[in-house]
Structure 1
């Protein structure tokens, strides 16, 4: 069973990569605990993390696009940690 906890709060845990502020963290249990984080310093450069950061920080969000980009970012971030059993085809 997949369990997911998202935190998008003023006070999230520091980034484990650089120690800076995170905009969003996600803790999943997919038979093993997986921790994902969205950091302005580490993720702003590109990929879906950069797009999601832009959406969250500018407030230019539509619910459908937020859902699509959030899920795609989650798959991308999991794949970066070696979790490739969650195939995802980006739309668009």
Structure 2
């Protein structure tokens, strides 16, 4: 089974999935498939993706709030963009 997974990876079959789940695929073949466990694994994976997306959005919100504070301090939009990673247009759109 391990050889089959390695061969599939070498032939670029399901590359993303096998890169992330090769050991799980092998384990599933050797063990009896369990629907409940499969659902649990998928739920945990979805929660991790959701958490990562939430962190990304929270970081963006923090950068926007920082940019707003810098605008109130009359710091140049170009400098704010450089410091926050926002574009100059994004910074300018935040002006009150």
Shared fold (TM-score, shorter chain, > 0.5): no
**Structure whose residues are more often strand by fraction:** 1
TM-score, with normalisation over the residues of structure 1? Answer: 0.29
- State which structure, 1 or 2, has the greater radius of gyration over its C-alpha atoms: 2
TM-score, with normalisation over the residues of structure 2? Answer: 0.28
